[in-house]
Amino acid sequence: MIIPPRKLASSQDVTPETLFWNRRRLIRAAAAAGLVPLAERAQADALRLAGKANFAGDEELTPWKTVTGYNNFYEFGTGKEDPAERSAQFRPLPWTLTIDGEVHKPQTVDVGALLARPLEQRIYRFRCVEAWSMVVPWDGLPLRDLLKRAEPTAHARYVAFETVLRPEEMPGQRTGILDWPYREGLRLDEAMHELTFLALGVYGKPLPNQNGAPIRLVVPWKYGFKSIKSIVRIRLVREQPPTTWNMRAPREYGFYANVNPDVDHPRWSQKTERRLGDFFRRPTLPFNGYAEQVAGLYKGMDLRKQF
């Protein structure tokens, strides 16, 4: 989980459920007739394209405005609106991504070239959980595609990730709230799983700055802080790498960060979550609902201790 939001929507700010569902139906119909703005048409297009890699079933997509306006990205500030309001000066292109460490073929990846891939090949639709949850039509590619190109050695057991360090463009990095640059990590088998991917866009558009442009990690069965943004380096290593929130507060943020409703955060329960746009809270699902796909990765582990 992430530190509680500084400002949460009140019940008065939330659209009633009946109006919400009616609005979604109207948007789809209007989009087909070319009667809605581009952002809403992108949502309808994403609904059509997402079927190829839809890991969220029939769940309703979270609106574009919410996905791009309510974020955790401490490099731009600790408030949920700060990333959208304070990231305009960030330059996401040109951008290269280094893959090195325990690999036979170190790589320098041109992220602009990845963005040029056909959109139909790169649509994913996932549930994502932080201190809230949303359903997002990400546009990306499996992380394992890039890792296989680099050919991990027999000694590679973990994958370490690092965010860009640009305090002149990222005002949050000029504070001491975290040890910059932001770092995260996965076990190699987690990184190679089909659900683990690198997002390049959302709703059919390149990632906005506030969402981690130009390339971010998404691990949908883990809490949101694992999905590191604006990545510049991926390093394969032998030992479990240090990660930012685990270093900052090890009692509260474990290395694995799997969504587990049976393990409470020391300061709050994780048994329920709030889907943005919904009035009522809902039960949190083990592994965020992806247990069938990923539970086998943790066979024999005590997930209360290895949290």
- Rounded Cα distance between 79 and 70, Å, is 9
- Is residue 303 included in any domain, yes or no? no
Give the range of the structural domain holding residue 120, as residue numbers without chain letter.
11-298
* Number of domains within the chain: 1
Q: Report pLDDT for 43.
A: 44
Bridge partners (DSSP) listed for residue 103:
152
Bridge partners (DSSP) listed for residue 54:
125
Q: Could you give the count of Cα atoms lying within 13 Å of 226 in the half-sphere of its Cβ?
A: 26
- Is residue 85 included in any domain, yes or no? yes
DSSP code, position 250: T
- Is residue 287 included in any domain, yes or no? yes
- Is residue 31 included in any domain, yes or no? yes
CATH number at 117 reads 3.90.420.10
Sign of the four-CA dihedral 31, 34, 40, 42: positive
- Rounded Cα distance between 74 and 17, Å, is 31
The pTM is what?
0.81
Q: What is the largest CA-CA distance in the chain?
A: 56
- Rounded Cα distance between 127 and 235, Å, is 27
Phi, psi of 81 (to 5 degrees): -90, -15
Q: Report pLDDT for 123.
A: 58
- Is residue 306 included in any domain, yes or no? no
Q: Report pLDDT for 14.
A: 35
Q: Report pLDDT for 140.
A: 87
- Is residue 5 included in any domain, yes or no? no
Q: Which distant-in-sequence residues (6+ apart) come within 8 Å of 37 by Cβ? A: none
The separation between CA 41 and the C-alpha centre of its own chain, rounded to angstroms, equals: 23
- Is residue 4 included in any domain, yes or no? no
- Is residue 165 included in any domain, yes or no? yes
CA distances from 118 to 48, 141, 236, 244 (A): 15, 11, 28, 34
Bridge partners (DSSP) listed for residue 163:
231
Show pLDDT as tens, one digit a residue, over the chain (307 residues): 333 222 323 333 333 333 333 444 444 444 444 433 444 444 444 444 333 455 556 778 899 999 999 999 999 999 999 999 999 999 999 999 999 999 999 999 999 998 887 655 455 666 676 668 898 988 888 999 999 999 999 999 999 999 999 999 999 999 999 999 999 999 999 999 999 999 999 988 999 999 999 999 999 999 999 999 999 999 999 999 999 999 999 999 999 999 999 999 999 999 999 999 888 999 999 999 999 999 999 999 999 999 9
The helix (run of H) or strand (run of E) holding residue 184 is: strand 183-187
Q: Report pLDDT for 131.
A: 60
Residue type at position 35: L
